[in-house]
Amino acid sequence: MIRFEDLLEKVRAYNPDADLELLRKAYVFSAYEHKGQVRHSGEPYMVHPLEVADFLADLKLDVVAVASGLLHDVVEDTLTTIERITELFGPEVAHVVEGVTKISTIPFSSSEERQAENFRKMLLAMVDDIRVILVKLADRLHNMRTLHHLPEERRVKIAQETLDIYAPIANRLGMSKVKNELEELCFKYLEPRAYESLRGRVEARRRTAEGLIDELKPTIAAKLAEAQVPYMVIDGRIKRLYSIWLKLKRQKIDLDQVYDFVALRIVTSTVKDCYAALGIIHQTWSPVPGRIKDLIAMPRPNGYQSLHTSVISEHGFPFEVQIRTEEMDGRAEEGLSRFHPQWKGNRRHPCGQRFVSQRRACRRDPSSSCSRRYTGPSASSGSLA
């Protein structure tokens, strides 16, 4: 269980000037209002607001967002009014809490494609502060992490709603870490047999794949050093289960034909070094035709930028390499939330402009990219999760 004092320390570490008294006041008020309430797990209800607030602090959001995380269920689940929240915590916190409350009360009853599109469009169009969406995503993420405590019928309903609505919204904001975890959890509950079957097949290949990663990392490091191409990070991963499952279904291929089952990530300081590193990779291993993507020159709609290429190792094992700068890497993982402390809703900031432009597109055009049917990771962020 998250301790409130640990939450304060976390916020103080990235924001020494934060109004910690506001957070303390929000915690005490939320604990008082939720007193006696318990979750399906049997834990005190206050565990949930603390987890939500802690996740928002992990994103290094401002105290308004973190306080709103502590208070996000107070209006919906207790007798507290939004007027009371305004009186005690000010209009900014009240605005975020009210926005989250409104989202929670909108009924979503159909996973039919058009209904899901319209619902996502409506959510993005009605929200004028990105913190509302971030708090709601944090709320949904913790609820998905604890979904096993609910009856099966509710698990399936919530997982389907999450896959149709909240994972695509996280994707639109470029928050691949959130999107990826939501998708994995949804897959587990919506397709339990397929999930367990694929998990077994992936686990059978894990040792070989991890051995390849351990072999490739020092090789890449040595090649880059030899060419005097500086880098900051080289790491690797095995492709996520949900992403593999979608690819197998969509392309009707076998697991052995998934070229990005293993992926290496190279993080550099500059764009110039990204392209230099790509050249070194292609000099070292044979590239797979048609598998080179320049998403630095042509970013995805959610702002994701990276160079992607697939190559064949000396042992005939295909793997993917993703190359990007540190700034691109942070944006790939955390999306617009990474920059919120700097822009704080300022529409002149590039991130603020992108969020506002997405809202306008949703209001103006039902077929805009903010409301397109979600088709999986290959159509969205390409991060290493």
Residues with catalytic roles: 76-77
Structure tokens at 183: 């998708």
- CB contact at 8 A, 176 and 383: yes
Q: How far apart are CA 316 and CA 58, in angstroms?
A: 40
Structure tokens at 96: 């975020």
Q: How far apart are CA 201 and CA 208, in angstroms?
A: 12
Backbone angles phi, psi at 127, to 5 degrees: -95, 125
Rounded to a whole number of angstroms, the CA Rg of the chain reads: 22
φ/ψ bin of 266: left (φ > 0), alpha (ψ from -120 to 50), beta (otherwise): beta
Residue-by-residue DSSP string for 55-121: HHHHTT--HHHHHHHHHTTHHHHSS--HHHHHHHH-HHHHHHHHHHHHHHHS------HHHHHHHHH
Backbone angles phi, psi at 109, to 5 degrees: -120, 0
User: Which residues on adjacent β-strands are paired with residue 287?
Assistant: 311
Inter-CA distances, 312 with 147, 206, 325, 371, Å: 40, 18, 24, 37
